[in-house]
Amino acid sequence: MPFLEVAHHRIHYALTGAPDARVLVLSNSLGTNFSMWDSQLSEFEKHFRLLRYDTRGHGQSAVPHGPYTLDQLGGDVLTVLDALKIERAVFCGLSMGGMTGLWLALHAPQRFRKLVVSNASAKFGTVEGWNTRIEAVRSKGMKAVAAQVVERWYTAEFRANSPGTVRATLQMLEATSPEGYVACCAALRDTDLRESVAAIRTPTLIISGAKDPVSPSADGKYLAAQIPGARYLELDAAHLSNVEASGTYTSAVLHFLNSEGA
């Protein structure tokens, strides 16, 4: 897989699919890498050229000194697009990736034809909750939080029926750089887009999980109500809805992105 040097650090990415197809950028959640989109690859590549990347501090991307800001996370996307000479794309992000998408729609709307924001909030959690998690990881490492986090990412039924997927997710989370993780936690802790998202004019699909305790469906409904013309879809899933409800998720995203000449 190739790497790009951006702003004095390295971003790991993959660009796959037909060279003449529209580009779809996929942005990962906190504590994962771009393999979290594996369930979507075969179908998405029938329609798009896929640009997957590991958010800074995650996967095989570099771990620059933190804390990070949402401006940096969004700016990395624009730098990668510029380096690859991609003028316009469509964007799909989940959780942290979804919030990154909101930033891009606010700060670089001319670069994105459509936006899918999955299992995300305009304001994630509380400062106290983030600080507690950051301190736990700093003092004890990723294993101090990984099992509890994965329990919140999938419903009890899915965890019982898909132990292999859950185990792989846990391993991916535990392998995440503690430094990169807490630096991205800080970016989420310090971001509040609740008063900003009404300015978004990019055609947007909001996807929530009906059983998501991380970004509750009420947060998705808020985004859909604030963003003019946004569509809203609620899936029978917890936080990683693209994995737990992969078939429905994939079909819904493709339907939205392929409609009305995206």
Which CATH number goes with the domain that contains 106?
Answer: 3.40.50.1820
Compute CA 184 distance to the chain's CA centroid, rounded to the nearest angstrom: 12
Q: How far apart are CA 79 and CA 6, in angstroms?
A: 7
Question: pLDDT of the chain along its 262 residues, tens only?
Answer: 699 887 778 999 999 999 999 999 999 999 999 999 999 999 999 999 999 999 999 999 999 999 999 999 999 999 999 999 999 999 999 999 999 999 999 999 999 999 999 999 999 999 999 999 999 999 999 999 999 999 999 999 999 999 999 999 999 999 999 999 999 999 999 999 999 999 999 999 999 999 999 999 999 999 999 999 999 999 999 999 999 999 999 999 999 999 975 4
The per-residue pLDDT for range 232-251, each reduced to its tens digit, is 999 999 999 999 999 999 99
- Measure Cα distances from 135 to 46, 64, 144 in Å: 43, 19, 10
What is the pTM for the complete model shown?
A: 0.96
Range of the domain at 154: 3-261
The CB density around residue 127, as the number of other CB atoms within 10 Å, is 9
Residue in 107, 36, 44, 121 with CA at minimum distance from that of residue 78:
107
Q: What is the side-by-side order of every strand in the sheet holding 204-209?
A: 3-6, 9-16, 49-53, 23-27, 89-94, 112-118, 204-209, 231-235
Q: What residues contact 240, with CB distance under 8 A and at least 6 apart?
A: 29, 36, 94, 119, 153, 154, 169
Residue in 18, 86, 82 with CA at minimum distance from that of residue 49:
18
Q: How many domains does the chain have?
A: 1
Residue in 64, 66, 72, 129 with CA at minimum distance from that of residue 99:
72
Q: What residues contact 134, with CB distance under 8 A and at least 6 apart?
A: 182, 185, 186, 189
The CB density around residue 138, as the number of other CB atoms within 10 Å, is 13
Kindly report the length of the chain. Answer: 262
The per-residue pLDDT for range 8-31, each reduced to its tens digit, is 789 999 999 999 999 999 999 999
- Partners of 90 in the β-ladder: 24
